[in-house]
Amino acid sequence: MTVTASSATTSTREAGNRRPPALGGFSAPVLGIEIRRVLRNRRTLMFILVMPAVFFLLFGLPQRGQNLDNGLPVTGWIMISLAVYAAMVATTSAGAAVATERALGWSRQLRLTPLRPAAYVATKVATAMVLGLLGVLVEFTVGAASGVRMPAHVWVESGLTAWIGSLVFAALGLFVGYLAPAENVMQFMGPALAILAMLGGLFVPLDILPHAMQQIAKFTPVYGVGQLARAPLAGGGVDWAAVGNVAAWTAFFGLGAARLFRRDTTRV
């Protein structure tokens, strides 16, 4: 019963080799595998890339030829709104993936590796932002191909705002992900995001809603990002209410996620 028998050992059992990972385990190859993993999921692709594009073709194109008061096309207004929608669905679902990973016990497995919890979250946020960017780019490509014409600075500024603004939804995704250890969290987040997008004025202009509804809508999390992303097109200076909205919701979701995250990953 000796298993410790001497046989040629290929193992390097030297303490000198041992070191914690650089950047706590955050690395580009891992990010690459994560992104490939998400892109392999047809349902996710459907929601973040195909659906917003189809929405544009269905609801945006019929408005072709109509202009805003400043002479810029209504289709641009719709395209930017839907780009915000695509980015928010993408970043929320990437953030909410932690729910699935907690349900599957992967987070527990990770605790047996040197990966730092902060590096894990950073990977999730980075994945979310890559997907969010993809969502914006696809929507803008579909828009451009369908004949949307706007000044170059509007494309760039609106695109960047829609993209960077979706960070608030990466935080929302993480918040929900740490709240609900369910594998199918996006099943209820999908409809919830659609309602938020509606209240945020991404699907229809808020002006057509009842007045009371409009007032409430201004305090919902999508409103601010939508307003800011369309500002380069609509013009009219800085909308401080929208800036406040984005700042407040980013702080709320970010702190909430951080709090739940700490509870989840407290080491002994």
Partner 1 sequence: MTDTAPAVELAGLTKTFGTVTAVDGLSLRIEPGEVVAFLGPNGAGKTTTVDMLLGLARPDAGTVRVFGGTPGDAVRLGRIAAVMQTGGLLKDLTVAETVRMTAHFYGHSRPVTEVLERAGIADIADRPVGKCSGGQQQRLRFALALLPDPDLMVLDEPTTGMDVEGRRDFWQAIRADARSGRTVLFATHYLDEADAYADRIVLVRQGRVVADGTTAEIKNLAAGRVVRATLPGADQAVLAALPGVQSVEVRGDAVLVHTEDSDVVARHLLTRTDARDLEITSRNLEDAFLALTTAAA
Binding site for partner 1 (CB under 8 A): 1-5, 7, 9-15, 17-22, 25, 27, 29-30, 33-34, 36-37, 40-41, 101, 104-106, 108-115, 267-268
Task: Say if CB 174 and CB 261 are below 8 A apart.
Answer: yes
Instruction: Count CA atoms within 13 Å of residue 49 on its CB side.
Output: 16
Beta carbon nearer to partner 1, 110 or 248: 110
Is the Cβ–Cβ distance between 114 and 21 less than 8 Å? yes
Pick 21 or 244: Cβ nearer partner 1: 21
Quick one: 108 or 149, whose CB is closer to partner 1?
Answer: 108
Eight-class DSSP state of 50: I
Question: Least distance (Å) from partner 1 to the CB of residue 231?
Answer: 38
CB of 131: closest distance to partner 1 in angstroms?
Answer: 15
Q: How far apart are CA 71 and CA 231, in angstroms?
A: 14
**Cα(98)–Cα(124) distance, integer angstroms:** 8
Amino acid (1-letter code) at residue 3:
V
Q: Which two tokens stand for residue 203?
A: 């699907």
> Least CB distance from residue 141 to partner 1, whole Å?
27
For partner 1, the closer of residues 177 and 201 by Cβ is: 177
Taking the alpha carbons at both ends of the chain, their separation in whole angstroms is 36
Nearest distance from residue 180's CB to partner 1, in Å?
A: 17
Residue 67, helix vs strand vs coil: strand
The smaller minimum CB distance to partner 1, of residues 14 and 69, is found at: 14
Shortest separation between residue 166's beta carbon and partner 1, angstroms = 23
Judge contact between 86 and 48, C-beta under 8 A: yes
